[in-house]
Amino acid sequence: MTPGARRVLRAAERLFYERGIHAVGVDLIAAEAGVTKKTLYDRFGSKEQIVVEYLAGRDERWRELLAARLDAVAGREPAVRAVAVFEASREWAAEYGSKGCSMINAHAEIGDPSHPAYPVITGQKRWMLDLFTGLACEIGAGGAAGADRLGRTLMLLHEGALVAHGLGVFPDPFGHAADEVRDLLGRV
């Protein structure tokens, strides 16, 4: 990726997250990145592709941060690892998420399954559900049906914490959700 393309992505990420995807045009992204619109289109082809790259980049960084946090508690009980997801989310939100989850925010603007960013959005959430369901299987949540149910419950607690954080409804929703997970899983 060229330096100009990296500047475009950095500018787009900041602008899309702060203002919303539909509120930001390519003129503004190009101006903020210090490139011409021609350079922007040469590198990405369309605004939609910039949105895809923005969301995919955030997802990749989230997965890397989460993998590091889960590696730090590797070998511990699955319940401890489940709580670590919420703690990682608290850390991520403090640094990158003052307006809540970029995937949830993007989905509010991009509800069309034919949009090229839609699979990135839904793929990230499916990945999280698979992660929680895998942890629930390791916990031994009453067979496949029990693991599916517990995985969905953990996912709902996590997504609720993301939304509550973004709205600023109450302090430390990730800590509250982690406490609920501890209670649910027998006080890990």
What's the pLDDT score for residue 18? 95
CA distance 158 to 167: 14
The predicted pLDDT at position 143 comes to: 84
pLDDT for 187: 62
Q: Is the sign of the CA dihedral 70, 75, 81, 84 positive or negative?
A: negative
pTM for the full predicted model? 0.92
Query: What type of residue sits at position 177?
Result: A
- Sequence length of the chain is 188
Per-residue pLDDT of the chain (188 residues; tens, 9 = 90+): 899 999 999 999 999 999 999 999 999 999 999 999 999 999 999 999 999 999 999 999 999 999 999 999 999 998 999 999 999 999 999 998 789 999 999 999 998 999 999 999 999 999 999 999 999 999 887 788 999 999 999 999 999 999 999 999 999 999 999 999 999 998 64
How confident is the model at residue 97, as a pLDDT? Answer: 79
Contact 126, 103 (CB under 8 A): no
CB contact burial 72-101 (16+ within 10 A = b; e otherwise): ebeeeebbebbbbbbebbbebbeeebebbb
